[in-house]
Structure 1
């Protein structure tokens, strides 16, 4: 069986061969560029200095990219950063070579170099893009943005708002990003949690709406580790899609919306607050509610509310059942502070937890720390995988599967909605199922990015 090292060696040989081709044979129409660059932006409230960031196009978040469903995205990443980088297109069922994972699907893009991303977008929905090299640092510095794939037939709404939720760890004395990206505290506990929570890079985000106006809110959690627990006040509506994938029918919003890192939700909401008042998308912070976005109600869009919206059109290939050829897999998450892990395989050797901590590594999957040379599973194309995940740690984790979506197998045997990221609480045991319908080597990791950097990474191969 081909190992990961053999795969990368073969990729390097292919790249070298391409370098021998005549220049005319490689000539293409130049792609529009997406520049990863340093910049200075005003993130903190007035009175604080501007913050030095790394951003796509010099903004944080980066520009919203919009493509029609079935369309092609073509962008050349130009790396103007002091570090190597790459782009992962989160949630897209993409060609493997375009997935943006250094060491698995591509080589890093060194400073001063570029890489052409060129792929079709099969699924409509709310997605995002972010750096996948030293992610715990580069995403925290601002390298992320929204990717919207538009349906052929949009829903009946008055307006749409893309809301990228993030937190930043800022030194209150200088207004600059805290540079301790290797903090053992963050890596071994809940992850890197910021002290400045923003929407679309704005503190205290406010917009004007009208009573009975109908909005589509595309929510994206781009934070390193923060779990957003969100509620609506003066707004009523429905959840329409999760992680970009439409629900079979709109689900009334009666409680909170919970988004782990990397997760998304599409809501359709009506403004029901009175004229002259303010409605809120609020987050739960400890025992109190804090405005995430304020909606100032000025004027009236109509005299009455509309009825329940129609479901969003389903994406292709989002239905599968558990009959037929399947394989059962297990993934046990261990380690971290207050855990019971005594040791695991690290760099090919059995290592005690004390030695792991000295190497700034704290987590393990199935007794293995970090990216293994062999996959968690090698699957035939079309095979159904049933993966049981156990969280034997003291902290929540957001498990993200690249290249494919999955459904949770519920206690009654039914299947939950299509997702690409599963938020698991401490001591939980959950089962997901997915069809191995996208060939290639696909990363499976915790999207608390400090956890991924300190051990929580593996991969699956689809033949």
Structure 2
């Protein structure tokens, strides 16, 4: 899933999305990225003159794609009656998308490559997929015909983000697209069956960190902050191998979502808005915080290195919303070339 812009002639562009049959998707490898602080110190001075006060103006994205194609060019999802079908949804773009599968009961069986315990059947709910997130859904092909999989978000370009489930032998499309229909969002913190996870809210942690996510003006420019600072001035999350770490994330922005992505680790979501997770343990590497939301997450420091923890809206990352998980007992033998720009976004 991705957003793009039409060229001067209105031609439809191709992208690099992955929505169907992406069997290598257990996580996105960013281990090769480096956050060279020497080249990032001027990040707060970047020009964002075309940006709204509430955040970046995303109206430029008027073409939404699935596997690089839009509208009628999107590849059919061909099935036979009785098939057990798995769709892997990857948001490779800059905007959140609310995906609705028509005509079928579905289960969300994994998020960010990590399984959901005993997922329950849902129908006529949308799955909200933020930038960087991945969701695996499963359904049984038991309703012959042609059915839409479409985006119900309030973004320009949603008409193009449609796929069609086509049963073998089906000829006529009786289903109707309705991207403007208001449907409830699935709340993953209340989904699946309860099970003891790797972490609990009240266990002992080596350290607890707070990450207040916000925006502020720097002169006539908008910057995106963690604890009131921008990268590289944000204090890192300092760990040693084996440490158990808890992080409290709060989105204090008035209008912006912040899909926060941790490289090199998975974390367990412990609570949302002060309430413990009620359903399956949720293990992720990307967590979307809507304005006003608060989450607590926990992870074990089991992968020595220096790892980015950043907003996956890369405009926000480029304007400062980046920190690091830094192992104090790790020494890298990599020396960045000071003559080659290497910014974290």
CA distance 1:431–1:270, change in 2 (3 Å): same
Mapped pair 1:238 → 2:122: no
Partner of 1:198: 65
- What are the superposed Cα offsets for residues 115-145 of structure 1, whole Å, 9 maximum, x if unpaired? xxxxxxxxxxxxxxxxxxxxxxxxxxxxxxx
Partner of 2:189: none
Is the 1:61–1:201 contact (alpha carbons within 8 Å) kept by the matching residues of 2?
yes
2:211 aligned to which of 300, 306, 331: 331
Shift in Å at residue 49 of structure 1? 3.9
Q: Secondary structure at the match of 2:295?
A: strand
Correspondences of 1:38-437 after superposition (within 5 Å): 48-49=10-11, 51=13, 60-61=15-16, 91-92=28-29, 98-103=31-36, 182=48, 184-185=50-51, 189-190=55-56, 192=58, 194-204=61-71, 205-207=74-76, 208-224=78-94, 226-254=95-123, 255-274=125-144, 277-286=145-154, 290=159, 292-299=162-169, 320-322=198-200, 323-335=203-215, 341=216, 353=217, 356-358=218-220, 360-372=221-233, 375-394=235-254, 395-410=256-271, 411-412=275-276, 416-437=281-302
Is the 1:240–1:251 contact (alpha carbons within 8 Å) kept by the matching residues of 2?
no
Shift in Å at residue 419 of structure 1? 0.5
Alpha-carbon distance in structure 2 between the residues aligned to 1:319 and 1:379:
22
Alpha-carbon distance in structure 1 between the residues aligned to 2:304 and 2:122:
37
CA distance 1:447–1:438, change in 2 (3 Å): same
- What are the superposed Cα offsets for residues 1-59 of structure 1, whole Å, 9 maximum, x if unpaired? xxxxxxxxxxxxxxxxxxxxxxxxxxxxxxxxxxxxxxxxx9969x84465xxxxxxx7
CA distance 1:184–1:382, change in 2 (3 Å): farther
Partner of 1:438: 303
Query: TM-score of the superposition, structure 2-length normalised?
Result: 0.69
- What are the superposed Cα offsets for residues 126-165 of structure 1, whole Å, 9 maximum, x if unpaired? xxxxxxxxxxxxxxxxxxxxxxxxxxxxxxxxxxxxxxxx
Is the 1:190–1:396 contact (alpha carbons within 8 Å) kept by the matching residues of 2?
no
Query: TM-score of the superposition, structure 1-length normalised?
Result: 0.53
Shift in Å at residue 60 of structure 1? 2.9
Is the 1:191–1:450 contact (alpha carbons within 8 Å) kept by the matching residues of 2?
no
CA distance 1:413–1:68, change in 2 (3 Å): closer
Alpha-carbon distance in structure 2 between the residues aligned to 1:421 and 1:209:
31
Gaps of 5+ in 2: 40-46, 171-195, 330-345
Alpha-carbon distance in structure 2 between the residues aligned to 1:248 and 1:402:
24
Is the 2:199–2:268 contact (alpha carbons within 8 Å) kept by the matching residues of 1?
no
- What are the superposed Cα offsets for residues 327-362 of structure 1, whole Å, 9 maximum, x if unpaired? 111011121xxxxx4xxxxxxxxxxx3xx143x342
Gaps of 5+ in 1: 1-41, 52-58, 70-89, 109-180, 301-317, 336-340, 342-352
Query: Which fold has the larger relative contact order, with Cα–Cα distance below 8 Å and residues 6 or more apart in sequence?
Result: 2
Shift in Å at residue 416 of structure 1? 3.5
**Number of residue-to-residue matches in the alignment:** 276
CA distance 1:421–1:189, change in 2 (3 Å): same
Alpha-carbon distance in structure 2 between the residues aligned to 1:390 and 1:319:
23
Is the 1:271–1:279 contact (alpha carbons within 8 Å) kept by the matching residues of 2?
no
Partner of 1:175: none
Shift in Å at residue 187 of structure 1? 8.6
Alpha-carbon distance in structure 2 between the residues aligned to 1:223 and 1:399:
14
CA distance 1:361–1:412, change in 2 (3 Å): closer
CA distance 1:297–1:413, change in 2 (3 Å): closer
Alpha-carbon distance in structure 1 between the residues aligned to 2:25 and 2:260:
28
CA distance 1:67–1:270, change in 2 (3 Å): closer
Shift in Å at residue 390 of structure 1? 1.2
Alpha-carbon distance in structure 2 between the residues aligned to 1:362 and 1:326:
31
